Amino acid sequence: MRISRFWILACMSVAASNLATAQLGPASKPLVEFTNSPELSPPNGYSYAAVVNSGKVVFLSGQVGLDRKGQMAGKNDFRAQSTQAFTNLKAALTSIGASFDNVVKLNYYVVGLNHGKLGALRDVRDQFVNKAHPPASTLAGVQALFREDAQIEIEAVAVVP
């Protein structure tokens, strides 16, 4: 059976079109749209809504400040634990071919939440997330986490093409 050049080009064109649709979504919409209502106060480093137009939704388990050897980063050091938790999320994202640009939702659980911890968390977060399209976020102060020395746990939802 002989395949013509026209047939090969036609197949390549369809494949390219399908790839573009997967990345942009139906009717040339972006994969994810981040929005903020003008009826709400402006958010500080996060979006109020992330609309998923296409792609796979991936749920990432909460990460804490444990390094790959199982040692807690920075004894009683909230910033060090936050940085390690984000580093762990980055590794989990990389393992599925994604990055923080694919994250649409973050949930934070912080033991002993106070203004100092909130400022440190924002500083660390801004080193990882896409500032042009920050993910929707929820922050909760909690009494305790799974280990006595854990001060923060961060879970994420990502959308990948």
Whether the pLDDT of residue 10 is over 70: the answer is no
Domain range for residue 96?
Answer: 55-160
Q: What is the CATH number of the domain that holds 84?
A: 3.30.1330.40
* Domain assignment of residue 2, yes or no: no
Residue 19: predicted pLDDT: 38
Mean pLDDT in residue range 124-148: 95
Whether the pLDDT of residue 159 is over 70: the answer is yes
Our count of domains for the chain comes to 1
Mean pLDDT in residue range 29-57: 86
Look at residue 86 and give its three-state secondary structure. helix
Whether the pLDDT of residue 96 is over 70: the answer is yes
Task: State pTM to two decimals.
Answer: 0.76
* Domain assignment of residue 70, yes or no: yes
* Domain assignment of residue 43, yes or no: no
Helices 115-125 and 78-95: crossing angle in degrees, nearest 10, is 30
Residue 43: predicted pLDDT: 83
